[in-house]
């Protein structure tokens, strides 16, 4: 992004973007000059945040309706999470898994109990959790199911998003994620999301697992048909195939339940967790499963220097304790119904469709009203932070701690942005 002109009022314009202050422009230009251009953020520079609100370098406040892709489910600067982090900072932050730490045991025990499983593999980022699950599923296929060596296959979904490592983008169908990054990792079969028949037909003797998001986030909050997850569970159990649910965005309260699978009455073999598990304080992710699955890992066969570090474990434990209380899930469920009702009223008035669950929504914009990014820029001018995806879809995922009045304001400002 390059500066076009300094206005008389001290604001600066950038090509294709609204005018911003000189302070904002300088901060953006510094990033553009020295950071790789792998993101196209909105022209706002956040300096401070609390709860559901952020403040930029000019002192202007915005309602955060993205929550760092669900990482900030419990709000910015959540007092309980900051207290847990501060206390652990004074003790020890990293030992590596070469030694035990006092913080790790309570975290993995509590998380396993929350998920109703035996074991936890702690990692750092969501992509690491996915990569770890791929390795576990393959090793399980060879050691437990009896698949021939190096022949294991994992079924994935069209429109999937599980991260951006080389192996993960190998089974993406998004050209932005794949162009220029080949050769790709083999061993994946892609089927339409929401089509249980296609999934069943794709299963063969070498199938190790089915990997899916219960709701596809990056695809635009793509919700499968009712009963689909139950059908996947029935098929995978019958065919002796692992069901791996990537709940990195959909889990930990976002959709009005601890996991989106809970809303469908489904228990997968493996949960993949991340984002909100670190409370927006530190990166924390996990693979959670029973010992008959995670037990295939042995010393030296997998690891991470920072995985399960004491600071991450302390914060993660407090996240689990908050979820054990159930208040966050109930709040997301109640406010989510309010959000979905308000957005649904906009259909036919600049909106062509609304999808979602809990405090998570994908809103398709009528092209005659502009692109989704156009709408996000209008929202920005009105003090709302949201994010576009795939051209015509706006994603909303406000922190669960958002006030009812602020949620109502979000809907009003969304309607106003469409009238722009």
> 118-177: per-residue pLDDT in tens?
999 999 999 999 999 999 999 999 999 999 999 999 999 999 999 999 999 999 999 999
Q: Is residue 376 part of a domain?
A: yes
Q: What pLDDT does 8 receive?
A: 35
Token pair for 198: 């296609």
Cα angle vertex 357, ends 355, 361, to 5°? 45
Is 259 a known active-site residue? no
Same domain? 293 vs 182: yes
Domain boundary among 292, 325, 358: 325
3-state secondary structure of 121: strand
Looking at 325, 344, 359, the residue that finishes a domain is 325
How many angstroms separate the Cα of 129 from the Cα of each of 67, 161, 214? 20, 13, 16
Q: Are 350 and 395 in the same domain?
A: yes
Sheet holding 384-385, edge to edge: 46-50, 53-56, 61-64, 384-385
Q: Where are the beta strands (DSSP E) in 175-308?
A: 188-191, 207-212, 242-246, 270-273, 285-289
Q: What is the pLDDT of residue 7?
A: 44
Q: Are residues 195 and 59 in the same domain?
A: no
For residue 359, which of 70, 55, 54 has the smallest C-alpha distance? 70
The predicted-structure confidence for 220-257, as pLDDT tens digits, reads as follows: 999 999 999 999 999 999 999 999 999 999 999 999 99
pLDDT at 3 (0 to 100): 37
What CA–CA distances, in Å, run from 356 to 184, 222, 360? 32, 7, 5
Q: State the average pLDDT for the chain.
A: 96
Note whether 294 and 350 are same-domain residues: no
Query: Is the pLDDT assigned to residue 386 strictly greater than 90?
Result: yes
246, 364, 388, 406: the catalytic one is 246
What is the predicted pLDDT for the residue at 17? Answer: 74
Q: What is the pLDDT of residue 76?
A: 98
32 in a domain, yes or no?
A: no
- DSSP H helices, 175-325, are 175-178, 196-202, 228-239, 260-263, 291-294, 310-325
Domain count across the chain: 2
Domain assignment of residue 207, yes or no:
yes
Using CA of residue 262, residue 402, residue 75, residue 324, what is the dihedral sign?
negative
DSSP state at residue 211: E
Residue at token pair 């919700």:
223
Q: What domain range includes position 107? A: 91-325
Indicate if the pLDDT at residue 73 is higher than 90: yes
Is the same domain home to 195 and 316?
Answer: yes
For residue 161, indicate whether it is catalytic: yes
Looking at the structure, tell me whether residues 130 and 113 fall in a common domain: yes
Residue 338 corresponds to which tokens in the numbers above? Answer: 């309010």
Domain containing 386 — which CATH number? 3.90.1150.10
Q: Are residues 163 and 261 in the same domain?
A: yes
Do 139 and 17 sit in the same domain of this protein?
no
The pairing of beta strand 188-191 with beta strand 153-157: parallel
pLDDT at residue 420, rounded to an integer: 62
Determine the average pLDDT of the residues in 271-275. 99
- Please enumerate in sequence order all residues whose Cβ is within 8 A of that of 133, keeping only pairs 6 or more positions apart, or say none: 209, 211, 244, 270, 272, 287
Longest CA–CA separation in the chain, Å: 72
Structural domain includes residue 37: no
pLDDT, one tens digit per residue, over 283-324 is: 999 999 999 999 999 999 999 999 999 999 999 999 999 999
Residues 407 and 336: their CA atoms lie apart, in Å, by 9
- Annotated catalytic residue within 56, 259, 275, 387: 275
Query: Burial of 374 by CB count in 10 Å (0-12 exposed, 13-18 middle, 19+ buried)?
Result: middle
**The one catalytic residue among 74, 107, 161, 188:** 161
Q: What pLDDT is recorded for position 5?
A: 39
Q: How far is CA 178 from CA 135, 164, 171, 173, in A?
A: 21, 9, 9, 8
Residues 166 and 262 in one domain: yes
Q: Is the pLDDT of residue 13 over 60?
A: no
pTM of the predicted model as reported, rounded to 2 decimal places:
0.96
pLDDT band at 96 (very low <50, low <70, confident <90, very high): very high
Active site residue 135: no
Q: Quick one: average pLDDT of 406-412? A: 98
């Amino acid at each position: 992004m390059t500066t076009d002109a300094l206005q008389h009022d001290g604001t600066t314009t950038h090509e294709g973007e609204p005018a911003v202050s000189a302070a904002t422009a300088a901060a953006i230009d510094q990033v553009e000059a020295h950071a790789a251009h792998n993101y196209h953020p909105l022209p706002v520079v956040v300096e401070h945040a609390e709860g559901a609100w952020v403040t930029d370098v000019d002192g202007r406040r915005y309602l955060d309706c993205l929550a760092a892709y669900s990482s900030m489910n419990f709000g910015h600067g959540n007092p309980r999470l900051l207290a847990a982090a501060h206390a652990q900072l004074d003790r020890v932050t990293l030992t590596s898994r070469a030694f035990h730490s006092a913080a790790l045991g309570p975290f993995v025990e509590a998380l396993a109990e929350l998920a109703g499983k035996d074991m936890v593999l702690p990692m750092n980022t969501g992509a690491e959790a996915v990569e770890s699950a791929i390795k576990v599923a393959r090793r399980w296929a060879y050691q437990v199911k009896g698949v021939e060596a190096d022949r294991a296959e994992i079924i994935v979904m069209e429109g999937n998003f599980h991260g951006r490592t080389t192996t993960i983008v190998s089974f993406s169908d998004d050209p932005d994620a794949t162009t220029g990054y080949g050769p790709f990792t083999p061993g994946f079969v892609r089927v339409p999301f929401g089509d249980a028949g296609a999934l069943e037909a794709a299963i063969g003797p070498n199938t190790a697992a089915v990997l899916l998001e219960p709701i596809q986030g990056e695809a635009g909050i793509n919700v499968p048909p009712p009963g689909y997850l139950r059908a996947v569970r029935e098929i995978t159990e019958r065919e002796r195939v692992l069901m791996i649910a990537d709940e990195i965005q959909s889990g930990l309260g976002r959709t009005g339940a601890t996991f989106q699978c809970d809303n469908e009455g489904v228990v997968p073999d493996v949960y993949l967790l991340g984002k909100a598990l670190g409370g927006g304080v530190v990166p924390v992710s996990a693979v959670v499963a029973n010992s008959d699955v995670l037990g295939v890992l042995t010393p030296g066969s997998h690891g991470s220097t920072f995985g399960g570090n004491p600071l991450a474990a302390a914060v993660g434990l407090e996240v689990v304790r908050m979820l054990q209380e159930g208040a966050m899930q109930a709040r997301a469920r109640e406010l989510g119904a309010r959000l979905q009702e308000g957005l649904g009223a906009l259909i036919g008035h600049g909106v062509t469709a609304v999808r979602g669950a809990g405090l998570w929504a994908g809103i398709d914009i009528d092209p005659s009203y502009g692109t989704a990014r156009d709408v996000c820029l209008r929202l920005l001018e009105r003090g709302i932070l949201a994010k576009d995806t795939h051209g015509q879809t706006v994603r909303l995922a406000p922190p669960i701690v958002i006030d009812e009045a602020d949620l109502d304001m979000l809907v009003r400002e969304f309607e106003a942005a469409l009238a722009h």
